[in-house]
Amino acid sequence: CIYKYINNFNKTGGGGVMIFCKVNLGIKVQEVKVKTELPAVSVLLKSEKLPPICLSTLYRYDYSGHDFYKEAEKYFVCLIKRYKNLTIIGDLNLSSVTDWNLPISNDSVHESYIHLFNSLGLRSLIDQPTHRDG
């Protein structure tokens, strides 16, 4: 199998993200360049039979505050303006949100992410914590 590997590791330490894409499936994979300091990577997936999909991954540290959120907001708004179909995957560490079917939070930063995803027309496919500690 042949894979395309795209990564963005935090140069200050503490995490990073990568996307591996199998390239012999009839899907073209192109890295999406957006200037950011975030541990984030995005790729554009193109096929002859389907509309292009922008796949983006982000690692949000538990202790990330409002400045990190503002950078994430700029990043995802830029992507949604460029690409109609956006899918976000990753570890967002929004543990105060216990029900993504009716997302609310008592944490102001987490609430900002909820508002951002709603404003971008995104919804979570995960409806429960994926980690035993939330």
83 vs 62, residue with greater confidence: 83
Say whether pLDDT at 90 is over 60: yes
Q: Are 2 and 24 in contact (CB under 8 A)?
A: yes
Listed residue (105, 128, 129, 131) closest to 118, CA to CA: 105
Of the given ranges (48-52, 75-79, 108-112), which has the lowest mean pLDDT? 48-52
Backbone angles phi, psi at 44, to 5 degrees: -105, 125
53-59, strands of its sheet edge to edge? 28-31, 40-46, 53-59, 86-91
What is the C-alpha separation between 38 and 52, in angstroms, rounded? 24
Tokens 């995960």 found at = 126
User: What pLDDT is stored for residue 15 in this prediction?
Assistant: 66
Hey, what are 118's tokens?
A: 């709603």
